[in-house]
């Protein structure tokens, strides 16, 4: 093989990479996943309205949730409901009459606040009843939580005069749009993380299918080494992830969703893609069986993504901060750190591929 073919993206490697990318059109599951992402990115300004209702049900305007209130602290509950947007309190003389109104559909939920027998009656015991699972259950529970949170805040303010010390003042409520939070903390990370994870899954199939079909030896007739084959298959999948991410960012911009720091975001996506593709390649070479490798890949990726919570900044937070242009020094440090880890993990995958004999499969 000539020196020009030995480049990381040259000769046989590039040919194998093009072959793998072109073969994706025959994978119905992959094509469907890409089309779903394309639809979300292209029509995000419309979808975000409906998706935000799941992310923050209280953001949906409507007639409000009717909550029946009763008990000794009925006035306090009514006052808390008045401070909670989307809640309409309905007074009842007793808990039994409130329950009857709930069963008759007069109210969506009921709350009874009584003096707690514990702690000499200095506490409030609250009993809430909400409907079983239905379309509005999530909205009702969210409104109940906000109402009771308001009640707690009011009680704390009124009782602070009895404390021997001055409590810390709570921060003022920020009047922010749920659409902004959903877009940058859920939608954009989702669109940018899916391509790397899909690329990793494809890399598992790309290796194991060659082994199971016995076509790995045919590739080596070229002649190319196992490392060349791994490079070609892996690099094609790695480069596909940032290209998808760039397309999603462009489509988001058409929907008036501005994404800042595009270059660092693409570098971060490439690093994530390199890590998961290298992991998928290693699992494919180690197990040599598609089903086992895919199961291990799915479990391991979930564990790694969950374990990232121990980091100073979660990868999803890094993406959100970069996209909204509020990145800190630690955010850029994360991008550099993940890039370094990606180089190390990919080097490990190449080294392992070079240490095994393809004929052993």
Render 90-151 in DSSP notation, one character per residue.
EE-SSHHHHHHHHHTTS-SEEEEEEE-SGGGGTSEEEEEE--SSSTTHHHHHHHHHHHHHHH
Other Cβ atoms within 10 Å of 253 Cβ, number:
13
**Centroid of chain to Cα 32:** 20
> Could you give the CA distance from residue 153 to residue 150 in angstroms, rounded to a whole number?
5
CB 204 within 8 A of CB 349: no
CB 195 within 8 A of CB 269: yes
Q: Which residues of 130-153 are buried (b: 16+ CB within 10 A; e: fewer)?
A: beeeeeeeebbbbbbebbbebbee
> Could you give the CA distance from residue 53 to residue 192 in angstroms, rounded to a whole number?
22
pLDDT at residue 172 in the model: 65
pLDDT at residue 357 in the model: 66
pLDDT at residue 32 in the model: 65
Q: What is the pLDDT of residues 102-120, one digit of tens each?
A: 888 888 888 888 887 765 6
The stretches in the chain having pLDDT less than 70 are 1-34, 37-64, 118-121, 133-136, 162-165, 167-179, 214-224, 357-361
3-class SS at 175?
A: coil
Q: What domains can be seen in the chain, in order of their start residue?
A: 3-42+177-360 (no CATH), 61-162 (3.40.190.10)
Q: What is the DSSP letter of 260?
A: -
Distances, alpha carbon 207 to alpha carbons 83, 190, 195, 220, 234, in Å: 59, 26, 19, 13, 9
Q: What is the DSSP letter of 73?
A: T
State pTM to two decimals: 0.64
**Centroid of chain to Cα 214:** 38
């Amino acid at each position: 093989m000539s020196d020009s073919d030995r480049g990381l993206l040259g000769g046989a490697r590039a040919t194998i990479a093009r072959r793998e990318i072109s073969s994706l059109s025959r994978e119905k599951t992959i094509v469907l996943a890409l089309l779903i992402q394309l639809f979300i990115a292209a029509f995000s300004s419309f979808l975000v309205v409906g998706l935000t209702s799941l992310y923050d049900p209280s953001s949906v305007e409507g007639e409000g949730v009717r909550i029946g209130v009763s008990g000794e602290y009925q006035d306090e509950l009514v006052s808390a409901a008045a401070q909670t947007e989307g809640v309409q309190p309905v007074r009842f003389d007793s808990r039994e009459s409130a329950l009857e109104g709930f069963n008759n559909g007069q109210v969506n939920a009921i709350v009874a606040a009584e003096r707690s027998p514990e702690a000499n009656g200095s506490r409030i015991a609250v009993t809430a009843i909400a409907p079983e699972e239905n379309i509005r259950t999530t909205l009702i529970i969210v409104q109940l939580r906000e109402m009771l949170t308001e009640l707690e805040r009011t009680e704390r303010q009124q009782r602070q005069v009895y404390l021997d010390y001055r409590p810390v003042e709570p921060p003022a409520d920020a009047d922010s749009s749920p659409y902004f939070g959903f877009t940058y903390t859920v939608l954009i990370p989702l669109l940018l993380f899916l391509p790397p994870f899909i690329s990793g899954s494809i890399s598992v199939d790309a290796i194991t299918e060659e082994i199971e079909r016995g076509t790995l030896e045919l590739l080596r007739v070229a002649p190319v080494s196992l490392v060349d084959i791994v490079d070609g298959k892996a690099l094609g999948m790695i480069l596909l992830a940032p290209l998808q991410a760039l397309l999603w960012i462009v489509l988001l911009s058409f929907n008036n969703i501005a994404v800042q720091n595009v270059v660092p975001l693409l570098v971060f996506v490439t690093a994530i893609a390199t890590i998961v593709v290298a992991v998928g390649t290693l699992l494919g070479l180690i197990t040599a069986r598609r089903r086992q490798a895919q199961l291990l890949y799915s479990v391991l990726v979930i564990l790694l993504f969950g374990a990232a919570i121990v980091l100073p900044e979660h990868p999803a937070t890094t993406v959100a901060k970069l996209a909204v242009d509020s990145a800190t020094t630690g955010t850029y440090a994360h991008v550099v750190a993940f890039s370094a880890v990606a180089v190390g993990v990919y080097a490990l995958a190449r080294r392992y591929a070079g240490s095994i004999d393809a004929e052993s499969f």
